[in-house]
Amino acid sequence: MNASETLFNLRLIPLLPFLGAAVLILFGRRWKREAVLTVAAAAIGGSALVAFDAFFTRLPAVAEEGGLRDVVWTWMSTGNLSVDLAFRMDALSGLLCLIITFIGFLIHLYSAGYMEHDPDYPRFFAYLNLFCGSMLVLVLGDSMPVMFVGWEGVGLCSYLLIGFWYHETPNADAGKKAFITNRIGDFGFLIGIFLTFQATGTLRFSEITSFATAGSVLTAPAWLGMSNAFWIGTFLFIGAAGKSAQIPLYVWLPDAMAGPTPVSALIHAATMVTAGVYMVARMHAVYVLSPAALAIVALVGAATALFAAVIGFAQNDFKKVLAYSTVSQLGFMFAGVGTANFASGVFHLYTHAFFKAGLFLCAGSIMHAMSGSGDIRKMGGLRKLTPWTHGVFLVCWLAICGVPVFSGFFSKDAIVAGAFATGIFGDDLSWVGPTVGVLLLLAALGTAFYMSRLYFLVFSGPTRADAQTQHHIHESPPSMVGPLVVLAVGAGLGGLVGVPGGLFGHPEWNLLGHTLETAVGPELDVPHNTELLFMAVSTVLALIGIGLAYTFYGGGYRAPAQKFAAAFPGFVQLVRDKFRVDELYGAVIIRPLRKFALALFRVVDRVLIDQILVGGVAALVDVLGRVSRAFQAGDAQRYMAAFAIGAAALVFFATRPTVPSTLKVEVSGTTVSVDASRAGRASPRGLTYAFDFDDDGRPEVVGLKSDARYTYDQAGEHTIRVTVTDPRWHTQSKIKRKIDLSAAGERK
Amino acid sequence: MIFDSSQILAYLPMLILIGMGCLILLAETFATTATASRQGLAWLGVGGCIASLGALLAQWGDAGQATTHFQGMLIVDRMALYLDGAFLAAALLTLLFAPPFLREQGFEFGEFYVMVLFGAAGMMMVAHAAHLVTLLIGIETMSLAAYILTGCWRRNLRSSEGAMKYFLMGAFATGFLVYGMALVYGTTGGELSYAGIAGKVPEASKNPVFYFGEYFILIALAFKVAAVPFHMWAPDAYEGAPTPVTGFMAAGVKAAAFGGILRILDTAFGNPLLVFDFTGWANIIVVLAAATMILGNLAALRQDNIKRMLAYSSIGHAGYILVGVAAMGLGVTTAKPAVLFYLMSYTFTTLGSFGVIAWIGNRRDERLFIDDWAGVAQARPGVAMAMALFLLSLGGVPPTGGFFAKFFLFRAAMESPQLYWLVVIGVLTSVVSIYYYLRVVIAMYFRDPLRPLEPTDAASTRAALILTAMAVLLLGILPGSFIEWAGPVIGK
Amino acid sequence: MGILAWITLLPLAGALLTMLVPREEEAIHRGIGLGTTIVTFLASLFILGDFDPAKSGFQLEVDKVWVESLGIHFHLGIDGISLWLVMLTTFLMPVTLLSPQAIGTRNIRVREFVIAMLALEAGMVGAFLALDLFVFYVFWELMLIPMYFIIGIWGGERRLYASIKFVIYTLIGSLLMLVAILYLYAQYHAATGTFSFDYVALSRLTLPYDPQLLCFLAFGLAFATKIPLFPLHTWLPDAHVEAPTGGSVILAGVMLKFGTYGFLRFALPMFPLATQAMAPVVTALAVIGIVFGALMAYVQNDAKKLVAYSSVSHLGFVVLGIMTLGQVAVQGAIYQMLAHGISTGGLFLGVGLLYDRRHTRKLDDFGGLWKKIPIFSACFLVIVLASVGLPGLCGFVGEFLILIGTFNAPAGALFSSPKLLAIISASAVILAAMYLLTMYQKIFFGPLDNPANKDPHVRDIHGRERWVFGFVIVAALVMGIYPQPILARSEKSVAALISGFQERLADAASNPDAPAHLFPNPSAGAAPSAAPANAGNSGKPGPTAP
Amino acid sequence: MPTFYYLILSFVLFLIGTTGVLLRRNALVVLMGIELQLNAGNLAMLTYSRALGDEKGHVFAFLIIALAAAEAAVGLAILVGLFRNRQTINLDEANLMKR
């Protein structure tokens, strides 16, 4: 499409991790750990170098013209469908590439320490490399199918990594659950692809973007009065909801924490789960054509943000809290892109990557210290015992709570303010923006509360761990702390690339928004007053949340927390049980499906088809076989009797004149014409036909002709009898038929 | 009445067989009880068959044009010679299969071989018959030989019982045949030759008695081919007869009777007046064919005695061939060659399979039940493979002669739209037949042996098995010449 | 003789050679079997080299008279559709014979096994290549016999039942197909005065509607049984469970494809009106099969049965793709056939290996095997994922093309609501993940707590086994990442097929009661350009059923 | 119409023969019934021959007589064989083979 597309070896970016994975799978088992780590880190590091080089030195020159493109080969081309195995880097995918390779590299380093004692060390790094490669394919994919390759690839890696410690059944179950839930989303994604192809005739993002203009077929009504763009957006969003853990498909993410913690940080916080947000941003051109689809995205996002935050209030597992926090933050991102504020959604994705990765790695570090346990009820007072981790966690905590200057503040504020300010929904859906905004504000309050609860319960006050565990508590090795510090810097200062420079009269200060403009359109223009108002409001809410949490949990479980739990035991339990959504799914979908399939197997497959249909035919043949044998009684005279009877029957039937099985009768008025000849055959020679129309025993018409006409005096029921005689043999055949003249007349 | 050498030459194959039979009878009086001299009798018979075959081949070239002899009583044409070949093959193979069997069972008499030769001569007579007299003589020669052969296993209860049933019913059918011939003779105004009858048909068909005559002859011939409902002798006679004889009967007698049917229906009763319409024999044949295919194959399903199973299967095959006869009646010119090819292929297949059945047993242990065949493939893979080949051929699976036989037959029948449904019945019953044929294959290949195999092994049996297997394969891979010799394959 | 005749007859020659070697020399028998199949595979690479992707018609034809008077010719030829199926056959054969588990647990009568497998290969290759309907039928039946023996001799407990069920099911359909072939032959003669079984000639014959329908049903029954289409599928689980590994691999990998190949090559082009009329039924059955097979697989406890039912589901996709008769979907269907051959073949090889190690196939008996046999577990995972349809592996391309092609088929062209069908079928991507991953998890994940699984006999793959799985995985990967060479070679033939179908349909629909006549311009006239697949067949009302 | 009467007689004979075959248990009597059938054929043949003034019918009748003799010879031999094995020639007792 774009004449100035520039070729660049983008393929190296995903290829290096893939190669790393392949090498590790094939040879890693025999290598030393250092060698494994070197290969893995080199693969992702090399990939990062290429990505940085591409993004900073090559991309700016061509960003306006659609970015860099690298076609490996034609993947599938047949009929009117043509898909290249091609990669494209524009500002959006470039940014994601940077995040993935950079954080991925950090997590590789971190894992070196974290997985030190694991016997499956090479396998872990192979998976990690495989994941990075798939994720890079996902973001760099030039067309929807290529993206789908990465999309499924990361799902696979997620499956493998969640179930990394496969020998424990719950882990394996969690992996399977993640994969299958993701597949439900993929189903939606696939339908979205089909719809897109049907509407636009292409699957390349750049072509879709240029095709998606207001008057195109995308805005034409397609089904149920909604436009193509709406259905594409909705189905794609199902895919996004699956991958990014939105209502109703979020259930897999909390379980996914069964995987090693670095995996949770990389896959289930920083990168893979944001793929849905990325995809919506990627398809922004289609989404903006359908405010209704955007409204669904925004509302689901906002609802998820709040719902997950509430569940986060009562979780007692460190990583579970972070998991629900991730779900909630993803909701923010969707709310951002769903209000057509794509840059802010991506901005939050970017800041979230840092602070959530940081939080998870802190969690890993602390669980490392706590001998693997993640129960926050047994923690407390870790501030002094693990000072570096505490410091990093502090920064990240403030960032996620939205305390000013920290990264989360800017990105969250951009989303909230955008929700109130957006004009995308027009008049019909004008309520969506404010609703989303209010939900997000509540969610922000909740975020501040549960994150603070986590912080206070873990780090403040005296430790609640038992003596043995306490004895082991120690700060993590430098290989783990180093990446933590880097992430903390990112979490603390990363927001500065997206400061709302417009407030200060310097829009160019918003580096991120400026960069992304080429890829997802200009940032939403928010009035300065609104911007300032919501900055203030969210700051206040963050502080309220923190304060409230301090009242409840500062230095351990305080009296108000216990009182609250005592006052609403049912509600607290319900929240702790995550509103029992998993159980609901189990009871409503999964178990019935299995039972249904089992019943189908037993009834339809075994009984109906195999026994009744097939077995029935076989049994019938068998019975006929037995019957045929029964004639053969062994007595020669019976044989001869059969012979004689057969001969007699043969002679008898061979000398009967043949008549048709039914008479052909044509009626007009009260006149009937009857044809007694056999269908399609000439009348046999020499036969006499006697037609008795009035059933009085005396034929009215007699002759050699096989047809006759007769007119009745009156309507009513009549019986026609035809007797066919062969004069040579004096053999006869008879046939009769009843006719109802009046009815026949009426029918005519 | 003028005899000339050409007439004698034309019937040389038949005469050689008869002469050789007489020679064996004579020779036997001089033969000692030693095995070797008995064997010599059998080899005499084999020699007779080969000489006869040579005489047959010598006149093949001249037989392109049909010639009648003896005032229209006998005819020489390609069809007759083709069938003669089948009869000779049947006799030859029987003479190869039988001696070890007879020796093992202890009733090796020279008369046995004589009867085989005489029976074959009778079959030839039927195939050549163009006159009711020769037809009757042929059928009776063949049948009497068959009765004797069936009953010749004197100490065996089943043999004498089978012979009795076969004989009584056969004679009963002969009664019908003779009576039918008398009626036809009278109503056609004194015609006995096929050509003469055909000439009088327009006149005679006005007389209902003529139809009685026609039907009675038809019934008698249907009895010989074991068409339902005239089939009931077949299972008992086949089971009772000594196994090599069963093969001879199933192949030769059936082929001869079909030869007779084909010729008499084609020439004497070939007038459309007799074929079509409700009184036409086409109707009758169609019904007989359907009933025969269905009942034969269904009844075979539940048989555990392999001879009995093959007996019912041979009834089923008669049904298939009747489809071809019906097609011929409906004007399909390619039907007759198809039937002939079927008979040829069926001859080899049946003889081969009964040869294996004769081979597998011994004096103490006949191994006639399918379960007795367990594990044959492990002990004797070659014979098992041959048997599997025969069974697959009977079932009509490529690449065997049986497949092409069915194929040609159904192909011919498909030229007549009235027969589509018959073809469908044919293929469905073929599926049924595959089921019971495969029971034997299952036993041979898929089961482990129950007890050691002690077959009645002999060089002649092996040679015959190799011959038959090769023939079945040859018919299945290169059927071209065989079908073309049988007559025009392309109609219209 | 042309190369096509060679690759058909080479396996037979190998079989004959095997027969001559004494029974005791099992190593030699295996060697001959493997060698013959490898040589055949290498020979088939020559076909690939000689094949001209720019042509739509048949290439490299071999035409020898067989039965002259009946117009039966030993006529072989290859086009873009059969090319890859032949390659699949020749590829899977050596891979299967390489596997030590091919013969299954009844490790007896190696010679016969090799002979049967080689005869099977000859039958399959011949049937794919046959351009004479009679020859096709002969080969079609020919492959039945070796497979029958393979199931019956080397099969499991209930092998007798399974083998006879397999034969009877298959025969009913195929014999009716024979009747239909004979009918076509007679009609061709009636229309032209010449006799021929030639595919190209007979496919020009346009029949009136009613006979078309009957012929379609006769052919369709044969093919639907082979596929197997719901509800004719119940022989498949039995046959697969009882067959030895090699039998299962070939049965699932290649033989099931004959059903779909038959639809594509014979039933559709020859009977356009009937296709149009029956398409709703066939597609409905296909979609039912997709979902039903997946659900059945979901509740199986026997790994082989599970894989067998998954075949029902996967082949349903192929039928769906074929019946849309759009370029994309048909290409996808062909691709899916190949992919299914690789992935399901691999699955059966894997299950066979597990059975060899553990002597059970019950999922509940396994657990935690990854710890014990990691390399095999990884290999099996790749194959499972290929079967699930993970992008980047072979399974995805076919499914994707089928679904996108079906989804975008014009409504009312051949069936009423392609979108709905595509959406229902797409749900199988979820179900496939459910049953296959459940299987995988039950075998390889979880604690290694069954003592039988700790037995030292449970060894990881080694030696030849590594090569077997290596080949399968490489094929799955290559086909997933770089499918275009395959698609490109079948492109023209598929386009010709579809445009030919549309023209024939128009011709037949112009007067559905016209007597049998020859379509004036055979497939050679089909527009070779990548014709818009779905154009031209919209809005043409089908004839009402009689 | 004497010809007609003879024909009726021959047909009646045929029926009597058939009835005898079907009803009598003794194989010898059954054989007699069959002879009766053959002779019914003979009678019909001769009747026609005489009515038509055609000699062939006579020849045929001789043939049938010879044939009946041959059949009787073979048949009696078979019955003797059966009797030796079973000590009876009642048909309903010879049913070793069935189904």
B299 contacts A632? CB cut-off 8 A: yes
Closest in B403, B414, B434 to C183, CB measured: B414
For residue B316, name the pLDDT band (cuts at 50, 70, 90).
very high
CA pair distance D97, D99, nearest whole angstrom: 7
pLDDT tens digits along C322-380: 988 888 999 999 999 999 999 999 999 999 999 888 888 888 888 888 888 888 999 99
Contacts of C142 in chain B (CB under 8 A): 398-399
Contacts of D38 in chain B (CB under 8 A): 174-175, 178
**Mean pLDDT, residues C116-132:** 92
Cα A105 from chain centroid (whole Å): 28
For residue D25, name the pLDDT band (cuts at 50, 70, 90).
confident
One DSSP character per residue, B181-239 reads HHHHHHHTTS--BHHHHHHHHHHHTTSHHHHHHHHHHHHHHHHHTT-TTS-THHHHHHH
> What is the strand order of the sheet A6-7 is part of?
A6-7, A68-78, A81-89
Those chains having 3 or more beta-carbon pairs within 8 angstroms of chain A are B, C, D
Contacts of A641 in chain D (CB under 8 A): 22
A596 contacts C433? CB cut-off 8 A: no
User: Is D31 contained in some domain?
Assistant: yes
**Domain end marker among B275, B300, B321:** B275
pLDDT tens digits along A570-621: 888 887 777 888 888 888 888 888 888 888 888 888 888 888 888 888 888 8
For residue C412, name the pLDDT band (cuts at 50, 70, 90).
low
Which of A222, A184, A186, A216 lies closest to A201, judged by CA? A216
Q: What percent of chain A has pLDDT over 70?
A: 96
Q: Is the pLDDT of residue B302 over 90?
A: no
Query: What secondary structure letter does DSSP report for B380?
Result: -
pLDDT in the model for residue C223:
92
How many Cα neighbours within 13 Å face the side chain of C230?
A: 28
Closest in A621, A626, A642 to B229, CB measured: A642
Q: Is the pLDDT of residue B390 over 80?
A: yes
Helix (H) or strand (E) holding C499: helix C484-510
B490 contacts C70? CB cut-off 8 A: yes
Tell me: cis bond preceding C231? Omega within 30 of 0 counts: yes
pLDDT in the model for residue A727:
74
Q: Is the pLDDT of residue A466 over 50?
A: yes
**Mean pLDDT, residues A412-439:** 84
Closest in D30, D57, D78 to B160, CB measured: D78
Q: Is the pLDDT of residue A222 over 80?
A: no
pLDDT in the model for residue B2:
57
Asked if residues B88 and B121 have their Cβ atoms less than 8 Å apart, the reply is no
pLDDT in the model for residue B3:
62
**Domain end marker among B250, B275, B300:** B275
**Mean pLDDT, residues B466-484:** 89
pLDDT tens digits along C428-451: 888 998 899 989 988 888 888 888
Q: Under 8 Å CB-to-CB from B229, ≥6 apart: which residues?
A: A642, A643, A645, A646, A649, B291
Does D17 contact B at CB distance below 8 Å? Answer: yes
Q: State the Rg of chain C over Cα.
A: 22
Query: Are B323 and B386 members of one domain?
Result: yes
**Mean pLDDT, residues B91-120:** 90
Chain C nearest-CA distance from A297, in A, is: 22
pLDDT in the model for residue A680:
47
Q: Which of A637, A638, A639, A645 to mutate to test the interface with D (most CBs of D within 10 A)?
A: A637
CA pair distance B178, D9, nearest whole angstrom: 16
For residue B111, name the pLDDT band (cuts at 50, 70, 90).
confident
CATH number of the domain to which D40 belongs: 1.10.287.3510
Per-range mean pLDDT, top range of A212-221, A553-562, B96-105:
B96-105
Q: In chain C, count H helices and then E strands.
A: 22, 4
C109 contacts B378? CB cut-off 8 A: yes
pLDDT in the model for residue A712:
81
Query: What secondary structure letter does DSSP report for A605?
Result: I
pLDDT in the model for residue C531:
39
Contacts of B414 in chain C (CB under 8 A): 179, 182-183, 185-186
pLDDT in the model for residue C317:
92
Total count of residues recorded for chain A: 748
CATH of A655-747, picked from 2.160.20.10, 2.60.40.10, 3.50.50.60, 3.20.20.70, is: 2.60.40.10
pLDDT tens digits along A573-587: 887 777 888 888 888
Contacts of B420 in chain C (CB under 8 A): 179, 183
A625 contacts B301? CB cut-off 8 A: yes
pLDDT in the model for residue C103:
86
Contacts of A186 in chain C (CB under 8 A): 429-430
Q: What percent of chain B has pLDDT over 90?
A: 56
Q: Do chains A and C meet with 3 or more Cβ pairs nearer than 8 Å?
A: yes
pLDDT in the model for residue C526:
41
Asked if residues A435 and A575 have their Cβ atoms less than 8 Å apart, the reply is no
Return the bridge partners of C78, or none: C59
Contacts of A634 in chain B (CB under 8 A): 236
pLDDT in the model for residue A742:
65
**Domain end marker among B275, B290, B320:** B275
pLDDT in the model for residue C313:
92
pLDDT in the model for residue C411:
64
Q: Is the pLDDT of residue A1 over 60?
A: no
pLDDT in the model for residue A5:
55
CA pair distance B330, B415, nearest whole angstrom: 9
pLDDT tens digits along B144-190: 999 999 998 888 888 988 999 999 999 999 999 999 999 999 999 88
Put simply, the chain A residues between 617 and 656 with a CB less than 8 A from any chain D CB are: 629-630, 632-637, 640-641, 644
D41 contacts B157? CB cut-off 8 A: no
For residue B33, name the pLDDT band (cuts at 50, 70, 90).
low
The pTM for the full model equals: 0.89
Lookup: tokens for C524: 């050679």
Q: What is the domain count for chain B?
A: 2
**Mean pLDDT, residues C71-87:** 90
A613 contacts C408? CB cut-off 8 A: no
pLDDT tens digits along B190-241: 889 999 999 998 888 888 889 889 999 999 999 999 998 899 999 999 999 9
**Mean pLDDT, residues A450-470:** 82
Instruction: Name the closest residue on chain C to residue B487, using Cα atoms.
Output: C69
Closest in D45, D64, D78 to B151, CB measured: D78
B190 contacts D56? CB cut-off 8 A: yes
Q: Is the pLDDT of residue A662 over 80?
A: no
What average pLDDT does chain A have? 83
What average pLDDT does chain B have? 89
For residue C541, name the pLDDT band (cuts at 50, 70, 90).
very low
Closest in B208, B215, B299 to A650, CB measured: B215
How many Cα neighbours within 13 Å face the side chain of A235?
A: 19
B427 contacts C175? CB cut-off 8 A: yes
Residue B418 — left, alpha, or beta (φ > 0 → left; ψ -120 to 50 → alpha)?
alpha
CA pair distance B267, B200, nearest whole angstrom: 12
- Domain that residue B443 falls in: 282-492
Query: Are B19 and B130 members of one domain?
Result: yes
Q: Is the pLDDT of residue A2 over 50?
A: no
One DSSP character per residue, C103-141 reads T-S----HHHHHHHHHHHHHHHHHHHHB-BHHHHHHHHH
Q: Which amino acid is at B112?
A: F
Contacts of D90 in chain A (CB under 8 A): none
Chain D nearest-CA distance from A668, in A, is: 52
Q: Under 8 Å CB-to-CB from C322, ≥6 apart: which residues?
A: C260, C263, C264, C268, C329, C330, C333
Query: Are B256 and B337 members of one domain?
Result: no
Closest in B179, B189, B239 to D97, CB measured: B239
**Checking DSSP bridges between strand A81-89 and strand A68-78, what pairing results, if any?**
antiparallel
**Mean pLDDT, residues C162-171:** 88
Contacts of A637 in chain D (CB under 8 A): 21-23, 25, 30, 91-92
Those chains having 3 or more beta-carbon pairs within 8 angstroms of chain B are A, C, D
pLDDT tens digits along A516-562: 877 777 777 777 888 888 888 888 888 998 888 888 887 777 777 78
Does B157 contact D at CB distance below 8 Å? Answer: yes
Put simply, the chain B residues between 154 and 173 with a CB less than 8 A from any chain A CB are: 164-165, 168-169, 172-173
Q: What is the domain count for chain D?
A: 1
Higher-pLDDT residue of B268 and A702 is: B268
CA pair distance A103, A486, nearest whole angstrom: 10
pLDDT tens digits along C465-494: 899 999 999 999 999 999 999 999 989 899
- CB neighbourhood size of B452 (10 A): 7
Those chains having 3 or more beta-carbon pairs within 8 angstroms of chain D are A, B
Closest in B144, B185, B240 to D57, CB measured: B185
pLDDT in the model for residue D99:
67
Contacts of D30 in chain B (CB under 8 A): 168
Contacts of D30 in chain A (CB under 8 A): 637
Q: Do chains C and D meet with 3 or more Cβ pairs nearer than 8 Å?
A: no
Lookup: tokens for C256: 């099931």
Query: What secondary structure letter does DSSP report for A423?
Result: -
Closest in B156, B158, B171 to D71, CB measured: B171
